[in-house]
Chain A
Amino acid sequence: MSTDVKVKDMMRLSYPEKISRLRNRMRDAQWRRYFKAIIAGKALGILLLLGLIVIGPAVLHALTGSSAFGQASTAPSPAMIADLGDSTKNPTINPINTAWTLVAAFLVFCMQAGFTMLEAGFCRSRETVNVLVECIFDTCLCGFLYYTWGYAFMFGQGNGFIGWHDPNDVPGGPVHSWFFLQGITATTLYAGTGVPVLAHWVFQFAFADCASTICSGTMIGRTDFIGDVLYSVCVSGFIYPIIGHWAWGPDGFLANMGQSATPNAFTHFLPNFGMNFHDFAGSTVVHSIGGWIALAGGIMLGPRIGRKFKRDGGAPMLPHDLTVGVIGGFLLWFGWYGFNPGSSLSAMDYGGIGRISANTTLAACTGGLAAEFFIYFRTKKWDCAIITNGFLAGLVAITCPCYWVSPTGACALGAVAGVLVVLGIDLLEFLRIDDPIGAWPVHALNGMWGTLSLGLFACGQYCAGGSSPSGIPVTDGTPGWALTGLFYGGGWKVFEAQCIGVACIHGATFTVAMIVFGVLTMFGRLRISKEGELEGLDLHEHGAPAYPEYVISALAAPRGTPKDIVGHWPHSTDIDQESGGELVGIKK
């Protein structure tokens, strides 16, 4: 390895040498022509890119303006004029809602620190730098992509599958495309909340970033960095915004499911069903999308070298820094107070945000407790990693139903999440899928459970948007109807709607992710070379170990821990007197 590096170093020229070589070459007419051609090519490329930024949205206006509102008549009908005068359609900026949304956005962004620490703590020291760089890279990339087209795809108006322009656009009028965040003025508000679109953009960027960071958790320690970058582009640029549009976009087909009277043909999804899909803060939209992509990545990559599974008489590789991992978990919990309550986008809904915060807390508490007791009865050890995964599972599960359930319901569904996460980890172990931080059990499995649990635990007191099946009045005084789940006498309707949404989003995400990772594997860009993996990703990809001097084991063996030793940790105290003083775990 090192001899190659040395040869390459010798061949590499220093800058003064390069400059003198360039000057020599410039004396040659042939080289001058090459030089001109290269410069011209680069200039052309830059001009094309600038042109695309400037002209692209204009072209899209022209293209989409006609197709989006093809059926709209040019003369506005009386109903439309009434719409324009309606204060709910053109609200003024609401300062307190805006401040609330931004504070929540910053809290959600703080979850990036949490994810980074959790992943860095739960991996081996030899791949820590890789995790850090990957998380930072993801964040930067996601911000840029969410500006270019992500936000337009997700929250723009368009059709049931994808969006591109301002939902406030009057049919037949000028179309404001949201690509590159063009067509947004200081007064463009996000529908009905009084929050400026750019504030909402920051909030939603933080969400998108969560989804893309979740994916990397399963793929720790064996992913080629180029592969990382490529799949991140797919996730934050396409998979998350487009699939997210289905549930959260102004005209997504799941958001408008069951409604028969909408202007756009694509939103006539199950018009007689009478109930739409609900996901308050993103159990499915954010967490499950991330979790399923993570699982697809884990399957296509295969386990790390040296990882042995329970069935083969092994146990997982131990995390190298639980302190960092647990603090990361707590940071995530803290960030969740922006994630869930902030999703109301309204600080005026004082009852709502208080209830969401309480529900979020309770589900995390019961999730952690349930996971810890469940694992204790099995191993007789108070496990540190599993309680962290447990409270995270509770948080993921409460993310969807947090607005519509009572605190008691939150406790119950959080506890189920805590048990589910342990079973999910067992399942992955059985299927021989290497998931170092448990991204699939925590985010995908409990995202699914949380989304479905709304159909069981929605307590029938709190108002919901969308189509109404029952017309049950809400008890908190707001006009509207309440979402009522099975356990509160609402029947199976909400549960069925949630099932449809889960099937569409989870299925589509997993399928697309398998295709993306399949293509990357085909081109050999997904998994790192065997030499690189044995050397450790930190040195191979980033040229620096995370703990260069004071932790000498930083580069040590990439081995799994044999099963016998795991149960007796720390093994130095476990001298078994009866067996003649041999160390426990050493076969005779």
Chain B
Amino acid sequence: MKLIIAIIRPEKLEEVQDALDKQEVHLMTASDVRGCGSQRGYSESFRGNKGVIRLLSKIKLEIAVNEAYVEPTVQAILKTARSEGGKIGDGKIFVLPLEECYRIRTGEKGGKAIGP
């Protein structure tokens, strides 16, 4: 069991979700997050005064999968979350080991509880 955490561009969410659906990975948690990396931020202006906003808006996906699904999931995200030609700010994918997983409704645990 692995926990895949992907930080992606907000506008790529739909494409990524479609691609994951095709890999039969349907369950995920998505959150709006702010972060900074080598993209550094953007500048905002208010009544003529410029200010640099250092945290950018991103979407964080958390997907728990069984071993067999790790590679397809990562590949699907890599393929779809990448902007044309690959640009700074496309995001990152982290793969973490996952110790245990329970489904609250049934009390199942382990690979069964993770779902499809």
Residues of A within 8 A of B (CB): 1-3, 5-6, 9, 305-306, 534, 539, 542-545, 548, 552-560, 581, 586-588
In whole angstroms, how far apart are the Cα atoms of A555 and B35 in the complex? 13
Q: Which B residues are in CB contact (< 8 Å) with A3?
A: 40, 88
Q: List 8 A-B contacts (CB under 8 A).
A: A2-B42, A3-B88, A6-B40, A552-B34, A555-B57, A556-B32, A559-B13, A586-B26
CB pair B43 A556 closer than 8 Å = no
CB pair B10 A557 closer than 8 Å = yes
Q: How far is the CB of B63 from chain A (nearest CB, A)?
A: 14
Q: How far is the CB of A460 from chain B (nearest CB, A)?
A: 57
In whole angstroms, how far apart are the Cα atoms of A88 and B37 in the complex? 76
Instruction: Give the residues from 66 to 112 in chain B that come closer than 8 angstroms, CB to CB, to chain A.
Output: 88-89, 105
Instruction: Give the residues from 31 to 62 in chain B that come closer than 8 angstroms, CB to CB, to chain A.
Output: 32, 34, 39-46, 50, 57, 59
CB-contact partner of A556 in B10, B42, B46, B88, under 8 A: B10
Q: Which B residues are in CB contact (< 8 Å) with A552?
A: 32, 34, 57
CB pair A556 B45 closer than 8 Å = no
Q: Which B residues are in CB contact (< 8 Å) with A560?
A: 14
Q: How far is the CB of A331 from chain B (nearest CB, A)?
A: 26
Q: Which B residues are in CB contact (< 8 Å) with A2?
A: 39-43
Instruction: Give the residues from 10 to 30 in chain B that come closer than 8 angstroms, CB to CB, to chain A.
Output: 10-11, 13-14, 21, 26
In whole angstroms, how far apart are the Cα atoms of A532 and B11 in the complex? 12
Q: Which B residues are in CB contact (< 8 Å) with A5?
A: 42-43
CB pair A558 B34 closer than 8 Å = no
When C-beta atoms are compared, the residue in chain A nearest to B83 turns out to be A534
Q: Which A residues are in CB contact (< 8 Å) with B34?
A: 552
CB pair B10 A539 closer than 8 Å = no
Q: How far is the CB of B65 from chain A (nearest CB, A)?
A: 16
Q: How many residues of B contact A (CB 8 A)?
A: 22
Closest 6 CB pairs of A and B: A543-B45, A555-B57, A559-B14, A557-B13, A557-B10, A534-B11
Q: Which A residues are in CB contact (< 8 Å) with B40?
A: 2-3, 6
Q: How far is the CB of A161 from chain B (nearest CB, A)?
A: 44
When C-beta atoms are compared, the residue in chain A nearest to B105 turns out to be A581
Interface of A is mostly: loop
Q: Which B residues are in CB contact (< 8 Å) with A544?
A: 44-46
Q: How far is the CB of A412 from chain B (nearest CB, A)?
A: 44
In whole angstroms, how far apart are the Cα atoms of A552 and B33 in the complex? 8
CB pair B32 A558 closer than 8 Å = no
Q: Which A residues are in CB contact (< 8 Å) with B50?
A: 9, 543
In whole angstroms, how far apart are the Cα atoms of A99 and B39 in the complex? 59
Q: How far is the CB of A556 from chain B (nearest CB, A)?
A: 5
When C-beta atoms are compared, the residue in chain A nearest to B11 turns out to be A534
When C-beta atoms are compared, the residue in chain B nearest to A575 turns out to be B105
Given the known interface contacts A552-B34, A586-B26, the answer about A539 and B14 at a Cβ–Cβ threshold of 8 Å is: no
In whole angstroms, how far apart are the Cα atoms of A1 and B57 in the complex? 14
In whole angstroms, how far apart are the Cα atoms of A1 and B89 in the complex? 9
In whole angstroms, how far apart are the Cα atoms of A9 and B51 in the complex? 11
Given the known interface contacts A558-B10, A559-B14, the answer about A543 and B32 at a Cβ–Cβ threshold of 8 Å is: no
In whole angstroms, how far apart are the Cα atoms of A553 and B32 in the complex? 6
Q: Which B residues are in CB contact (< 8 Å) with A1?
A: 39, 42, 89
Q: Which A residues are in CB contact (< 8 Å) with B88?
A: 3
In whole angstroms, how far apart are the Cα atoms of A153 and B57 in the complex? 49
Q: How far is the CB of B6 from chain A (nearest CB, A)?
A: 14
Q: Which B residues are in CB contact (< 8 Å) with A534?
A: 11
Given the known interface contacts A9-B43, A543-B44, the answer about A557 and B26 at a Cβ–Cβ threshold of 8 Å is: no
When C-beta atoms are compared, the residue in chain B nearest to A5 turns out to be B43
Q: How far is the CB of B112 from chain A (nearest CB, A)?
A: 13
Q: How far is the CB of B50 from chain A (nearest CB, A)?
A: 8
Residue among B21, B43, B50 with most chain A CB within 10 A: B43
When C-beta atoms are compared, the residue in chain B nearest to A553 turns out to be B32
In whole angstroms, how far apart are the Cα atoms of A553 and B31 in the complex? 9
In whole angstroms, how far apart are the Cα atoms of A240 and B2 in the complex? 63
When C-beta atoms are compared, the residue in chain B nearest to A548 turns out to be B44
In whole angstroms, how far apart are the Cα atoms of A270 and B89 in the complex? 66
CB pair B11 A557 closer than 8 Å = yes
| Beyond known contacts A3-B88, A5-B42, A5-B43: 12 more, CB 8 A cutoff | A2-B40, A2-B42, A9-B50, A306-B11, A543-B43, A543-B44, A543-B50, A544-B44, A557-B10, A559-B13, A581-B105, A587-B21
Q: How far is the CB of B101 from chain A (nearest CB, A)?
A: 16
In whole angstroms, how far apart are the Cα atoms of A543 and B50 in the complex? 9
When C-beta atoms are compared, the residue in chain B nearest to A534 turns out to be B11
In whole angstroms, how far apart are the Cα atoms of A510 and B108 in the complex? 63
Q: Which B residues are in CB contact (< 8 Å) with A554?
A: 57
CB pair B39 A539 closer than 8 Å = no
In whole angstroms, how far apart are the Cα atoms of A539 and B50 in the complex? 12
CB-contact partner of B57 in A9, A543, A556, A586, under 8 A: A556
In whole angstroms, how far apart are the Cα atoms of A305 and B21 in the complex? 21
When C-beta atoms are compared, the residue in chain A nearest to B42 turns out to be A2
When C-beta atoms are compared, the residue in chain B nearest to A582 turns out to be B26
In whole angstroms, how far apart are the Cα atoms of A254 and B24 in the complex? 64
CB pair B43 A587 closer than 8 Å = no
In whole angstroms, how far apart are the Cα atoms of A204 and B92 in the complex? 57
In whole angstroms, how far apart are the Cα atoms of A545 and B14 in the complex? 22
Q: Which A residues are in CB contact (< 8 Å) with B89?
A: 1
When C-beta atoms are compared, the residue in chain B nearest to A543 turns out to be B45
CB pair A587 B14 closer than 8 Å = no
CB pair A545 B44 closer than 8 Å = yes
Q: Which A residues are in CB contact (< 8 Å) with B45?
A: 542-544
Residue among B11, B26, B39 with most chain A CB within 10 A: B11
In whole angstroms, how far apart are the Cα atoms of A555 and B42 in the complex? 13
Q: Which B residues are in CB contact (< 8 Å) with A543?
A: 43-46, 50
Q: How far is the CB of B61 from chain A (nearest CB, A)?
A: 12
Q: How far is the CB of B3 from chain A (nearest CB, A)?
A: 20
Q: How far is the CB of B44 from chain A (nearest CB, A)?
A: 5
In whole angstroms, how far apart are the Cα atoms of A586 and B25 in the complex? 11
In whole angstroms, how far apart are the Cα atoms of A554 and B10 in the complex? 11
Q: Which A residues are in CB contact (< 8 Å) with B11?
A: 305-306, 534, 557-559
Q: How far is the CB of A580 from chain B (nearest CB, A)?
A: 10
When C-beta atoms are compared, the residue in chain B nearest to A587 turns out to be B21
In whole angstroms, how far apart are the Cα atoms of A544 and B41 in the complex? 13
When C-beta atoms are compared, the residue in chain A nearest to B45 turns out to be A543
CB pair B59 A557 closer than 8 Å = yes
